[in-house]
């Protein structure tokens, strides 16, 4: 016990003075600006729930958005971002209402699904519903597991290319 207390006496002040510790805290509760270098180009991102979210990237009615990341445009890289959406309505009606709202605002919408197994041990069935919408260069990709009782969905936006999920999916209602 004494050794553990000595470890704490040194570890806690070290952690509190560490910029990495505060960076992680900001990513979870605030916003942390970071740069990612890919092919010699730095793409700046803001990570955390206080990162910016474009007004045009609509959330399903009654959904509560938690922003996770906002990546700025860089040479050869699109501006993009994503977040988690806590859904109020996970039924087919809720999905159809979101599709109707997007189409009513001029978006071109595709709905698809794919069935797979989760990477958990033991694997669990996953039935992922995907809604992809495009309006000019802007795109939205909304996905959720319709098999589970979970109410958390993923919403991606991009001013350019979206993540490629549709090529793995079967077109049609979820």
Please indicate, yes or no, whether residues 6 and 55 belong to a single structural domain of this protein: no
- Number of structural domains (the chain) is 2
pLDDT score recorded for residue 8: 64
Residue 12's domain spans which residues? 1-30
pLDDT score recorded for residue 64: 94
Q: Which two tokens stand for residue 64?
A: 């509560």
Whose structure tokens read 């991606």?
A: 156
Please indicate, yes or no, whether residues 21 and 55 belong to a single structural domain of this protein: no
pLDDT lower than 50: segments of the chain: none
pLDDT score recorded for residue 15: 66
For 155, residues 6+ apart whose C-beta sits below 8 A from its C-beta are 57, 59, 65, 82, 83, 84, 85, 140, 141, 142
pLDDT score recorded for residue 85: 93
With a pLDDT cut of 90, the percent of the chain lying above it is 47
Please indicate, yes or no, whether residues 19 and 64 belong to a single structural domain of this protein: no
Whole-angstrom CA distances from 77 to 33, 34, 92 are 17, 15, 35
Tens-digit pLDDT profile for residues 21-71: 777 777 788 899 999 998 899 999 999 999 999 999 999 988 899 999 999
């Amino acid at each position: 016990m004494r050794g553990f207390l000595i470890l704490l006496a040194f570890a806690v002040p070290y952690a509190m003075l560490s910029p990495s510790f505060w960076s992680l805290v900001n990513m979870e509760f605030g916003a942390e600006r970071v740069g990612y270098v890919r092919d010699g180009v730095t793409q700046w991102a803001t990570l955390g729930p206080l990162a910016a979210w474009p007004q045009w990237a609509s959330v399903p009615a009654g959904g509560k958005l938690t922003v996770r990341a906002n990546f700025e445009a860089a040479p050869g890289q699109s501006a993009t971002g994503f977040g988690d959406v806590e859904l109020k309505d996970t039924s087919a009606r809720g999905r159809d209402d979101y599709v109707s709202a997007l189409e009513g605002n001029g978006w071109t919408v595709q709905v698809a699904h794919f069935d797979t197994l989760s990477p958990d041990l033991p694997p669990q069935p996953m039935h992922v519903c995907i809604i992809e919408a495009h309006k000019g260069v802007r795109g939205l990709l909304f996905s959720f597991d319709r098999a589970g009782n979970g109410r958390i969905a993923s919403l991606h936006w991009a001013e350019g290319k979206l993540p490629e999920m549709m090529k793995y999916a079967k077109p049609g209602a979820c």
